[in-house]
């Protein structure tokens, strides 16, 4: 756990300086990281108190490792800025272009839906209707989030809220298996959820 935290911290600092391997040759992603770092400033990752931007950075790394290009990786970096900061879709369209803005909008929850389960269901439908590029950003996000929840499950029993998140991840996997069957990120998500469920059972 400590080694993972140290690696996350080193990766974040390297990316902030523009030295991380995955931002080389991806100018939009590099600009997106600076934007996300600024907008998420002061926010912390729930699982361990690390800077929140560590999460979108991990999502971007997953997408880059899967072979996606600048727009998709940049959307991975920015996927939470509309949902969790004061940034708006128009800001993203102006700075990063219509495709990045479209992808971020596709993976952003509708805050007008009050019921959490209904909001998550609407999000899954929204992603399914937005095409493969949106689906892989969504998948990479869920891979990262499942890893975080596994860390929690290894320490303590999951509470009701955490179990609702697990249910959403299961439903997300089912949706992705229909939408992009056999995709490597779907396979990775399935493996992460298996580890998460095993950890949850042990507690």
From the candidates 83, 109, 171, 177, give the one annotated as an active-site residue: 83
Catalytic residue check, 84:
yes
b or e along 12-41 (b: 16 or more beta carbons within 10 Å of the residue's beta carbon)? beebbeeebebbeebebbbbbbebbbebbe
Closest to 170 (Cα-Cα) out of 126, 201, 131, 124 = 124
Q: What's the CA gap between 163 and 203, in Å, rounded?
A: 13
DSSP 71: H
Of 48, 65, 84, 197, the catalytic one is 84
- For the annotated catalytic residues, the residue numbers are 83-84
């Amino acid at each position: 756990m400590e080694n993972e935290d140290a690696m996350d911290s080193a990766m974040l600092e390297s990316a902030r300086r523009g030295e991380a391997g995955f931002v080389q040759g991806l100018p939009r992603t590099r600009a997106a990281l600076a934007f996300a770092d600024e907008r998420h400033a002061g926010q912390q990752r729930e699982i361990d108190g690390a800077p929140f931007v560590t999460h979108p950075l991990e999502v971007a790394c997953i997408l880059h490792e899967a072979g996606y290009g600048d727009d998709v990786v940049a959307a991975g970096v920015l996927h939470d800025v509309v949902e969790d900061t004061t940034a708006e879709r128009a800001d993203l369209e102006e700075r990063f272009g219509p495709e990045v803005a479209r992808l971020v909008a596709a993976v952003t929850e509708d805050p007008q839906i009050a019921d959490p389960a209904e909001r998550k269901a609407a999000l899954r439908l929204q992603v399914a209707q937005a095409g493969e590029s949106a689906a892989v950003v969504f998948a990479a996000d869920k891979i990262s989030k499942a890893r975080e929840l596994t860390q929690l499950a290894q320490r303590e029993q999951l509470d009701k809220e955490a179990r609702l998140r697990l249910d959403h991840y299961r439903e997300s996997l089912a949706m992705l298996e229909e939408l992009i069957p056999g995709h490597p990120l779907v396979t990775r998500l399935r493996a992460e959820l298996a580890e998460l469920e095993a950890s949850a059972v042990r507690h």
